[in-house]
Chain A
Amino acid sequence: SQQGEEDPQALSIQEGENATMNCSYKTSINNLQWYRQNSGRGLVHLILIRSNEREKHSGRLRVTLDTSKKSSSLLITASRAADTASYFCATRRVDTGRRALTFGSGTRLQVQP
């Protein structure tokens, strides 16, 4: 089963608005990462937040992590048409034998110009 689940599955907003995507996971993690995928392309790393961190910023991106609720959110501020893509959270689990990244099913973001 999927370790990370993104919510919503799809999001459509107007340019200039903020976009918020959520990720929930099931087991204890070392870190949580967010990736972006443009249509027909490979994934590109956006930001990594470690289990002992609560918030992290990178440009227009803000990521929060709540380990007690096993959830994370990705906020994209002042969105642009070029932000249209799928966004995936990925977790690095700590349980034995699961040392590779596990990806969620993604949020498809459409930013209307």
Chain B
Amino acid sequence: NAGVTQTPKFQVLKTGQSMTLQCAQDMNHNSMYWYRQDPGMGLRLIYYSASEGTTDKGEVPNGYNVSRLNKREFSLRLESAAPSQTSVYFCASGAGFNEKLFFGSGTQLSVL
């Protein structure tokens, strides 16, 4: 099993550019999440999806949009990137809200 797969691993954008981060899981999990991690800090929740067809805002949703394309895939879109969005982005999935999460290896994004 691949687990949680994120693409790309690295990305450099110019201010104002757009991009989509892709995430797919092969564990048949209902819940999927996008977090960002800034240096020396913990993870902050951007958006999550409790099940296919539903999405909810997390702690820091401004500047982002998400799509739960199907049960496997949950994408994160930056419509107009800003330097404040320079961060490492992690996708995660879980079988249910009270279970453990499985994380992808992260996307390191730099916005110049």
A residues touching B (Cβ–Cβ < 8 Å)? 2, 4, 30-31, 33, 35, 40-45, 48, 88, 90, 92, 99-106
Contacts and interface: CB of A to CB of B under 8 A. Distances in A.
B42 A41 contact: no
A42 B100 CA distance: 14
Given A100-B97, A101-B33, 5 more contacts: A41-B105, A45-B100, A45-B101, A99-B97, A100-B31
Which range holds the interface residue count of chain B? 20 to 34
Contacts of A4: 42
Given A88-B42, A105-B41, A45 B33 contact: no
> 9 tightest CB-CB pairs across the interface, nearest first?
A42-B103, A45-B100, A103-B42, A103-B43, A105-B42, A43-B103, A100-B48, A42-B105, A99-B97
A104 B97 contact: no
B74 interface: no
B100 A48 contact: yes
Q: Which of B33, B100, B102 has the most CB of A within 10 A?
A: B100
Contacts of B13: none
Contacts of A106: 41-42
Of residues B35, B101, B106, which shows the largest number of chain A Cβ atoms within 10 Å of its Cβ? B101
Contacts of A2: 42
B50 interface: yes
A90 B37 CA distance: 14
A105 B40 CA distance: 7
A84 B90 CA distance: 21
User: Which of B42, B59, B101, B105 has the most A CB atoms < 10 Å from its CB?
Assistant: B42
B64 to A, nearest CB: 15
B43 A43 contact: yes
A45 B42 contact: no
Nearest to A4: B42
A110 to B, nearest CB: 15
Interface string B35-71: 1000011111100101000000011000000000000
